[in-house]
Amino acid sequence: MRAVTYDRYGPPDVLHVAEVADPVPAAGEVLVRIEAASLNPLDWKLREGHLRFAPPVKAPPRGTGTDLAGTIVAVGGGPGPRHVGERVFGSLSPFGRAGSCAEACVVAVHRLAPVPDGVAADAAACLPIAGGTAVQALADDAQLASGQRLLVVGAAGGVGHFAVQYAKHAGARVVGVCGPDNVAFVAGLGADRVIDYRSTDVLASGETFDVIFDAANALDWRRAQRLLARGGLYLGTAGSTTSAIATGVGAVLAPWFGGTRARNVVLNGGAAAWRRLGDLAARGILAPHVERRVGLEEVAGAQAAMQTGHGRGKVVVLPQLMPRAAG
Ligand SMILES: NC(=O)c1ccc[n+]([C@@H]2O[C@H](COP(=O)([O-])OP(=O)(O)OC[C@H]3O[C@@H](n4cnc5c(N)ncnc54)[C@H](OP(=O)(O)O)[C@@H]3O)[C@@H](O)[C@H]2O)c1
């Protein structure tokens, strides 16, 4: 089978498509023929070696990509909760060597949920990390309630666009922050107001918020203080060590400075989380925006583009999509 792999940490051009042996599932695992994968910033951060000192992360050679949707073609170790022919979606452990940008991969059963009827494979593949983080942040961490005021920073990105959709469903008043090219897109997601960070300083917006979800980690809790109502919550997504530490410090200090709170959102994924996302997608509450569909040969270019930090919605990888002929 074909898989996008890399043999050393480095820039996007370390990625190449290789012919590798079909993996064999062990007990508690299944082999999934992948119909669609989706990209996340985690993929390029792993490839660049940002997590190389985290002991559980396997060093290259390894595959790239975690999120996937497809069909089970083999079950390891006898009968289990999943069966051959079932359509599933989920996310691989980022610690292992397997990657979802491949024609097939082995996945632990507890990392998969059924694709609901009416949800396409490419939409399901967009959900796990980005949708999971947005819904966990707003539903669980913030317990966002109808009528609350929410600021979403990075509202056009993979995480942010799901956050705007979920927050509108929850009945919040949503202000989205994005760059000039994405203003119409974020308004189209249902945001009540959109702030273009290039032309308007969000800190001077004149509004206060019950919750700030800084999906892009662009604001930082200290600067966000002045936008938070008393008791308000700042949520960052720990996009870098610096931002994770800054929000961690905020978690300790924020209550003493203005009676606010701060927290890093760390996705707690798995079958139960994916089932909730599948249900939200089946009901049309989460509608993944696929900005671009690429084949395996285009993954390196797509990761390079994502690395600029200005993605809109999601990029989907279709392993069966062949490169376009030149000319
Ligand atoms: N902790 C966790 O469990 C977890 C889970 C998922 C993601 N994350 C992290 O969350 C971050 C976002 O992930 P993603 O999938 O949404 O990435 P993405 O799809 O690449 O989106 C990034 C977004 O950031 C926006 N942005 C860049 N600079 C900005 C600024 N100064 N102000 C406001 N927005 C700005 C971009 O919008 P414009 O193009 O409009 O500038 C872009 O839409 C990444 O660092 C990722 O690693 C963490």
Domain-embedded: residue 233: yes
Full residue range of the structural domain in which residue 65 is found: 2-115+289-317
Q: Specify the ligand 1 atom closest to the Cα of 179.
A: 40
3-state secondary structure of 248: helix
Any idea what the CATH number is for the domain that residue 257 is in?
3.40.50.720
Q: Which tens digits make up the pLDDT trace of 218-240?
A: 998 889 988 999 999 999 999 99
Quick one: 19 and 73 in the same domain?
yes
Residues 212 and 239 in one domain: yes
Question: What is the pLDDT confidence band of residue 257, given thresholds at 50, 70 and 90?
Answer: confident
Tell me: do 26 and 111 sit in the same domain: yes
Q: Is 131 in the pocket of ligand 1 (CB under 6 A)?
A: no
Per-residue pLDDT reduced to its tens digit, 12-50: 999 999 999 999 999 999 999 999 999 999 999 999 999
Give the distance from CA 171 to its chain's centroid: 23
Q: Which residues pair with 230 in a beta bridge?
A: none
Atom index in ligand 1 nearest the CA of residue 154 equals 34
What number of CA atoms fall less than 13 Å from residue 60's CA on the CB side? 18
Percent of the chain with pLDDT over 90: 88
Let me know: does 60 contact 84? Beta carbons within 8 Å.
no
Domain CATH for 294: 3.90.180.10
User: What is the value of pTM for the model shown?
Assistant: 0.97
CA distances from 324 to 85, 198, 254 (A): 30, 36, 52
Atom number of ligand 1 nearest to Cα 156:
43
Q: Is residue 124 part of a domain?
A: no
Give 121 Cα–ligand 1 centroid separation in angstroms.
23
303 lines ligand 1 (CB under 6 A): no
Q: How many domains does the chain have?
A: 2
Query: Does residue 327 have a pLDDT over 50?
Result: no
pLDDT at 325 over 80: no
Whether 77 and 137 map to the same domain: the answer is: no
Pair (187, 251) in one structural domain: yes
